[in-house]
Amino acid sequence: MGALLIVGSTLYIARREAQLARREAIEKTQATPAQPPAPFAD
């Protein structure tokens, strides 16, 4: 039972990290290349 929990949480974390990486890649491709990535700049 404990092993199942560990495997399940590991898969969940891996899936979340994959989603975040994919979202970052999409945002990078959608952003205009001439614009520097500065979200906190005015």
The per-residue pLDDT for range 1-42, each reduced to its tens digit, is 688 888 999 999 999 999 999 999 988 888 655 566 666 655
Query: pLDDT value at position 38?
Result: 66
At residue 20, what is the residue type? Answer: L
For residues 23 and 37, give the distance between their C-alpha atoms in angstroms, rounded to a whole number. Answer: 15
Residue pair 31/37 in contact (Cβ under 8 Å)? The answer is yes
Residues 6+ apart with CB under 8 A from 11: none
Q: What is the pTM of this model?
A: 0.52
